[in-house]
């Protein structure tokens, strides 16, 4: 049974009650807070953050030895609705998010049908309200059917509440149409999330192109395919004054391109995944499709550049690109298996184990990349513990050691390259609008 051994349950607390989180290390990068403090929640919102809060709350949570942060935000997930519910749905995806410490996610539109019109956005917003475990945001397709031939109903979808646009999973090769989209969206606060791979250079490729792919006899996807696409979109953003956001950046050269563009004042931001930060092509095993992702795992040089870009602000956010597939789809030969892995339940543990504990990045920087910085990019009312903000909070036990077990996942995807690893650090409570979800 999925999730066995850990249970998500909503406490009897609701937004009309009060909750006092006592004595945790509060890290709130949006307000430059990193101290031992109490956090008081009243009526679903932050009422106080102070050294000591004297308040007779309905519920008390002892956070001594734990870390209290704004709720984690993931602006790149695939919850697969509508039409692909065998892989994931809003219910299973939401439970996976809670287990991973995420309170807000944005789901991509490459579904069946594609989310490319106002009616589908309304339908997905209604589904999100029904699930009601976390805040689910909707990303709309940039072009109709994600075919790159004609702009989708952008303004109508904005009116229905989309937070961004993307043809994720597809590179928009028609530069004129892409430029028209940036022009059209000027004057709005919406950003275009770009999947960057020049299609003609990656067709048929299943891993990073290089020495490792040659040894394994597997067709590669070269980093230059990403670099060319990132450079083009940076130039189009500069020319139009539009906003672009580079999805799952993976190459060292692309990091340089984004860094240089930012120095010129281009409205460009970027995200990176835990897998691209911590894993390399050396882990690719033709007998194990769990390492097949898109873009593919790169070299150690690329990993190092991604980490440097994360630390110096070139890369703004960490996302999971949570992309579960049905077991029977992924359990095939590497060549034929689809790209993508589940990531919501493992991301925090992987990042704390592989980056924070070895001292490669400090915890406040990590938390900022998973809270306030993505909130700023996408204009979300989230990512902060400011008084008056919605009480979306993650409580982390940094000392908790646990082993990744696919049988205990809430997601429907089971093929994770992190299965079997012992990690240190995990979300032990997730609070959404003042409602406390416990992991027992």
Q: Give the Cα separation of 383 and 240 in Å (integer).
A: 29
Alpha carbon distances (Å) from 54 to 21, 37, 47, 384: 11, 12, 12, 22
- For 123, residues 6+ apart whose C-beta sits below 8 A from its C-beta are 82
59-62 and 18-28: which strand pairing? parallel
CA neighbours closer than 13 Å in the CB half-sphere of residue 72:
32
Catalytic residue (one of 17, 321, 354, 392): 321
72-77 and 244-246: which strand pairing? unpaired
- Catalytic, 74? Answer no
Q: Give the Cα separation of 275 and 260 in Å (integer).
A: 25
Where do we find the tokens 């033709």? 286
Q: Give the Cα separation of 114 and 168 in Å (integer).
A: 11
Q: Which two tokens stand for residue 71?
A: 């709720």
**Residues marked as catalytic:** 321
């Amino acid at each position: 049974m999925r999730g066995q051994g850990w249970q998500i349950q909503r406490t009897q607390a609701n937004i009309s009650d009060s909750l006092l989180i006592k004595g945790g290390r509060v890290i709130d990068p949006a307000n430059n807070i990193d101290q031992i403090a109490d956090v008081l929640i009243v009526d679903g919102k932050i009422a106080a953050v102070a050294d000591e809060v004297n308040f007779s709350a309905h519920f008390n949570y002892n956070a001594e030895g734990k870390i209290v942060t704004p709720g984690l935000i993931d602006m790149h997930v695939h919850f697969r609705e509508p039409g692909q519910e065998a892989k994931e749905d809003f219910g299973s995806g939401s439970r996976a998010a809670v287990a991973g410490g995420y309170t807000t996610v944005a789901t991509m539109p490459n579904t069946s049908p594609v989310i490319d019109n106002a009616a589908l956005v309304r339908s997905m917003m209604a589904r999100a309200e029904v699930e009601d475990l976390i805040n689910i945001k909707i990303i709309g397709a940039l072009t109709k059917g994600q075919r790159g031939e004609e702009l989708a109903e952008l303004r109508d979808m904005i009116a229905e509440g989309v937070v961004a646009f993307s043809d994720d999973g597809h590179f928009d090769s028609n530069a004129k149409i892409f430029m028209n989209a940036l022009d059209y969206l000027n004057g709005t606060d919406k950003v275009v999330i770009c999947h960057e791979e020049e299609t003609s250079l990656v067709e048929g490729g299943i891993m990073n192109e290089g020495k490792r792919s040659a040894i394994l006899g597997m067709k590669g996807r070269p980093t230059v395919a990403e670099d060319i696409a990132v450079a083009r979109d940076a130039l189009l953003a500069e020319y139009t004054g539009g906003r672009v956001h580079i999805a799952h950046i993976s190459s060292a050269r692309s990091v340089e391109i984004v860094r240089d563009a930012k120095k010129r004042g281009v409205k460009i931001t970027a995200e990176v995944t835990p897998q691209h930060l911590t894993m390399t092509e050396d882990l690719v095993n033709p007998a194990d499709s769990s390492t097949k992702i898109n873009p593919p795992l790169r070299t150690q040089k690329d990993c190092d550049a991604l980490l440097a870009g994360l630390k110096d602000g070139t890369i703004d956010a960490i996302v999971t690109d949570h992309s579960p597939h049905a077991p029977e789809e992924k359990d095939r030969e590497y060549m034929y298996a689809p790209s993508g892995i589940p990531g919501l339940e493992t991301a925090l543990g992987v990042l704390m184990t592989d980056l924070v504990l070895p001292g490669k990045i400090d915890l406040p920087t990590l938390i900022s990349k998973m809270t306030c910085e993505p909130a700023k990019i996408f204009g979300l009312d989230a990512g902060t513990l400011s008084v008056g903000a919605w009480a979306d909070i993650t409580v982390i036990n940094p000392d908790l050691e646990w082993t990744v077990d696919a049988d205990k996942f809430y997601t429907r995807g089971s093929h994770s390259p992190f299965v079997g690893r012992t990690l240190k650090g995990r979300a032990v409570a997730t609070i959404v609008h003042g409602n406390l979800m416990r992991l027992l």
